[in-house]
Structure 1
Amino acid sequence: MTYVIVHALAPIFVIMLLGFFAGKAKMVDNKNVSLLNIFVMDFALPAALFSATVQTPWEGIVKQSPMSVVLVLAMWITYAAIYFLATKVFKKSPQDAAVLTLTVALPNYAALGLPILGSVLGEGPSTSLSVAVSIACGSVLMTPFCLMILEREKARAAGEAAGSTLAMLPVLMWRSLKKPIVWGPLLGVILSAIGIRMPDLLLSSIKPLGMSATAAALFLTGVILSARKLKINTVVCTATITKLLIQPFIAWGIVMALGLSGPIAITAILMIALSAGFFGVVFGNRFGVQSPDAEAVLLLSSVLSILSLPLFISLTSGM
């Protein structure tokens, strides 16, 4: 099992290392990655998420609803707790806290979901469906929180708004919904729900763009990291422990409370137990927000998940 996990993590580190090398060697300007960021955030990732959600049968999404409830609650609880700690205890700015919390709360479904789940439950349509639903839950029900905070602080810095967050909420929601990274997967879910099937020609046309999404995002993350000096501190340690241990046990508690068992319960816990995702770091860079803590958590959790994932795979084996 450790071999499977290392095998799944290897591409992540290799692609990030290539981006890191490209930035250090000045093959890519690691101080100005706006063009690469636009490609990842406005084209590649939205295409990948739209393809994943629009091709997911609505009946399958409904059957996966118990798992979705566990994932969403575990992510929301973690997001709220880390954001509170980051802003109230560690005195981080709202922007920095938003990037950090999204990095911690949203697991790396896109890169690790299929290989890890496939190795435990076997590869097949149901496994692919579970991963697609997990990605949809994260992109539609998690990322807007981060985007709204980033948009709010951007508006306040520009002097466009000085009211409360509640008063600004309609504007912030609209600005978030206009982002391709949000409306792409949301549109896919809506089309799936009403039974509209996309033409094969359209799906095959955007498939290469979607296939490049994870690699491009990881390469971009490596480039971003090449311009930073990573430091391990209390915030990073707290966030990493939360991601790898506390959040999966939160999911476990929700699974027990809902009385779930079998593949659905195993899937929900293992999806949450994955290492931190790269969305937070990429989102922050899109808004000019640098979060060294989020970057450190991304790397540290990816390395330490080699130890934590076998633990939860073993613990869930009897469910």
Structure 2
Amino acid sequence: MLAVLGVTAPIFILIALGFLSVRGGLIDRGQIRGLGAFVINFALPALVLRALSERSLAEVLDGPYLLAYALASLAVFAGGLAVARWLRGQDLSASAILAMGMAVPNSGFIGYPIVAMVLGPTAALAMALGMLVENLLMIPLALVLAEIGQQSAASGRALVRETALRLLRNPMIAAIALGLLLSLLELRLPPLLFRVVDMLAGASAPVALFVIGGTLYGLRPRGMWADVGQTALGKLVLHPLALLLAFLLVPDIDPQLKVAGLLFASAPMMSIYPILGLRFGLEERCAASLVAATVLAFVTISTLIGVLGQAGYLQT
């Protein structure tokens, strides 16, 4: 247990430091948003670019891993949508946003720092592969369904176009595309540019954790325990279990990528989850789920690392 805490405790100490810094007035929420923008627009794209450009295309486009990750995420999303829509009587918009929280982890702010501490360089590659599924499949699917639930089919089609344009302007997607191109052409970044990218990439993990802590301050669950319970259970338990099943069904996946995938899937939902829910009047539900899942993740991720260590899949 002490070995597990040696891995997870620094992660959550940095999160707590961000939380206490905002609570104590050392840094305000506007500055936290600025740090978050730095991570999303510069540090994480640099990290992904570095990871992809240093590998061959065959290593980067790991078809079996992408298939397993997509199948597991879609299965959890579909199950969450069905439970919310038909068993609990939620409308389509609320059901789609709730299901997205169950199926899309916080890969950059929480998942990557944890996996990097456990596995090292494999974390960046697994994050890039996971973000392909999350940004090109899961998030657009959820937003389109949520929009269709409120408006006409034409508005849904308009949202598809708008989502596609936003993805093209997304620095993370641009970094993935550039990294894949460099990998395809077997080119390497010039030494000077590589050093800049490397310095930005090195800042991603600690700043990301500090930001998630600062973001959590002021978010409090308010009588939404059914939504919170379903979303947290789906994200922290069902998503990694579904991915484990997918790994058993899909052959030829690197064991290190399997461990990385399970750890990424066990991370709580992305920190912009309340922002995405805001368009549909669901920001309070999303914020409550984010708070609960992030707190519970300390226990669930520590437990998963302990189990993986006992099973001999990593050194804890």
Query: In structure 2, what is the Cα distance between the partners aligned to 1:55 and 1:35?
Result: 29
**Residue 280 (structure 1) shift:** 1.4
1:77 counterpart residue number = 75
Task: Note closer, same or farther for the CA distance 1:248–1:58 as it changes in structure 2 (3 Å cut).
Answer: same
TM-score, normalised with respect to structure 1: 0.76
* Aligned partner of 2:241 among 233, 249, 252: 249
Query: SS of 2:187's equivalent?
Result: coil
**Residue 135 (structure 1) shift:** 0.9
Q: Which amino acid aligns with 2:247?
A: V
* Aligned partner of 1:224 among 203, 215, 219: 215
**Residue 65 (structure 1) shift:** 3.4
Q: Which amino acid aligns with 1:110?
A: Y
**Residue 12 (structure 1) shift:** 1.5
Query: In structure 1, what is the Cα distance between the partners aligned to 2:154 and 2:177?
Result: 28
* Aligned partner of 1:111 among 92, 110, 113: 113
Query: In structure 1, what is the Cα distance between the partners aligned to 2:185 and 2:77?
Result: 31
2:27 counterpart residue number = 28
Task: Note closer, same or farther for the CA distance 1:276–1:252 as it changes in structure 2 (3 Å cut).
Answer: closer
1:133 aligns with 2:131: no
Among the aligned pairs, what percent are the same residue?
19
1:295 counterpart residue number = 291
**Residue 99 (structure 1) shift:** 6.3
Alpha-carbon RMSD: 3.7
Task: Note closer, same or farther for the CA distance 1:313–1:165 as it changes in structure 2 (3 Å cut).
Answer: farther
Query: In structure 2, what is the Cα distance between the partners aligned to 1:239 and 1:38?
Result: 26
Query: In structure 1, what is the Cα distance between the partners aligned to 2:205 and 2:272?
Result: 11
Are the equivalent residues in 2 in contact too, given 1:276–1:298 (CA < 8 A)?
Answer: no
**Residue 84 (structure 1) shift:** 5.0
1:181-222, Cα deviation, whole Å (9 max, x unpaired): 222223212321232221121110122222111222211111
Query: In structure 1, what is the Cα distance between the partners aligned to 2:131 and 2:310?
Result: 29
Task: Note closer, same or farther for the CA distance 1:87–1:187 as it changes in structure 2 (3 Å cut).
Answer: farther
1:67 counterpart residue number = 65
**Residue 171 (structure 1) shift:** 2.9
Are the equivalent residues in 2 in contact too, given 1:24–1:226 (CA < 8 A)?
Answer: yes
In structure 1, the gaps of 5 or more residues are 119-127
**Residue 242 (structure 1) shift:** 2.9
2:302 counterpart residue number = 306
1:174 counterpart residue number = 165
Q: Which amino acid aligns with 1:40?
A: V
1:55 aligns with 2:51: no
**Residue 293 (structure 1) shift:** 0.5
1:104-124, Cα deviation, whole Å (9 max, x unpaired): 485954112233346xxxxxx
1:186 aligns with 2:177: yes
Task: Note closer, same or farther for the CA distance 1:251–1:260 as it changes in structure 2 (3 Å cut).
Answer: farther
Between stretches 45-54 and 109-118, larger displacement belongs to: 109-118
**Residue 180 (structure 1) shift:** 0.8
Query: In structure 2, what is the Cα distance between the partners aligned to 1:168 and 1:196?
Result: 36
1:210 counterpart residue number = 201
**Residue 151 (structure 1) shift:** 9.2
Between stretches 220-229 and 166-175, larger displacement belongs to: 166-175
Query: In structure 2, what is the Cα distance between the partners aligned to 1:265 and 1:48?
Result: 22
TM-score, normalised with respect to structure 2: 0.77
Query: In structure 1, what is the Cα distance between the partners aligned to 2:228 and 2:112?
Result: 23
